[in-house]
Copies of this chain bind each other. A is one copy, B any other.
């Protein structure tokens, strides 16, 4: 059932022992939502904790620093920034079919939760900001940093066309609540580990243009992880680079998995719907950023994708 922010806050007010699920291969938005909401619920005197199927990259540690990890049997399960149950990764095995509440901003949400608060905002953290405000919790510095992180990371630091006046106003409020934008943005956008800097150079070198230079494809192989000392956790920042060369309408990053299959990330401008493109391969996402898994090698994936893209841009 689709609900509004008032109902969403009312449901949370009634509950205790709340488990918050975030999506696998976690990013700043799902974690910012999760820990921001969790901190707010704890401030209300409730028990709450956040879980994820994968390891949380160290750069996000400030999101949960100082929180005690509460152990309790959950009475209520909420998912944040999770469009489909299978995006929960291994958590889907346990929680599929028993998620009470979902707060999400993906138009492709499959309405798997009993109650869904959804609007297509630039970041899911904007919705969690509304929910926390509706709950009457005073946003402190820690909550502000969580929510600012989600907004900042999901918008490429306010670069994308998805940013609205409301996004900027929430960001302003969060700064006044103590969000340390300089710190968050430096950690998220201005800090390359030496291993990532090496991987980025290899990935940029692998980039090739197709379809009259309207499609750029970058490859990230297991071999590149090995020679750079980097790993898949560090690849989040690569996808936007593919779309930056003049004339490119579809930027694609194909990452090789340890089992030889791969994952493709699509970045587009208004001329092409990335979610629809990803859907052709069984994936999904946003109009300008989407992804899919492919049960084939990187080079086979390039061939398949170039063919489909050719039909779209020509």
Chain B residues near A9: list those with CB within 8 A: none
Q: How far is the CA of A212 from the CA of B83 in the complex (A)?
A: 45
A245-B192, A245-B197, A246-B191 given as contacts; is B157 within 8 A of A158 (CB)? yes
- Number of identical monomers bound together in the oligomeric complex: 2
Cβ contacts A228-246/B at 8 Å (1 or 0 each)? 0000000000001001111
Cβ distance A240 to chain B, nearest Cβ, rounded Å: 7
Chain B residues near A62: list those with CB within 8 A: none
Chain B residues near A169: list those with CB within 8 A: 168-169, 172
A95: Cβ under 8 A from any B Cβ: no
A258: Cβ under 8 A from any B Cβ: no
Interface residues of A in 185-217 (CB under 8 A from B): 185-186, 189-194, 197, 201, 204
Cβ contact within 8 Å between A269 and B201: no
Q: How far is the CA of A157 from the CA of B161 in the complex (A)?
A: 12
Residue in chain B with minimal CB distance to A207: B197
Interface residues of A in 130-166 (CB under 8 A from B): 156-161, 163-166
Cβ contact within 8 Å between B269 and A186: yes
Stretch among A70-78, A111-119, A174-182, A219-227 lining the B interface: A174-182
Q: How far is the CA of A201 from the CA of B183 in the complex (A)?
A: 27
Chain B residues near A163: list those with CB within 8 A: 175, 181
Q: How far is the CA of A279 from the CA of B139 in the complex (A)?
A: 41
A–B complex contacts, Cβ < 8 Å, 12 sampled: A156-B157, A157-B159, A158-B181, A159-B189, A161-B182, A165-B176, A166-B172, A168-B169, A169-B169, A169-B172, A182-B270, A201-B204
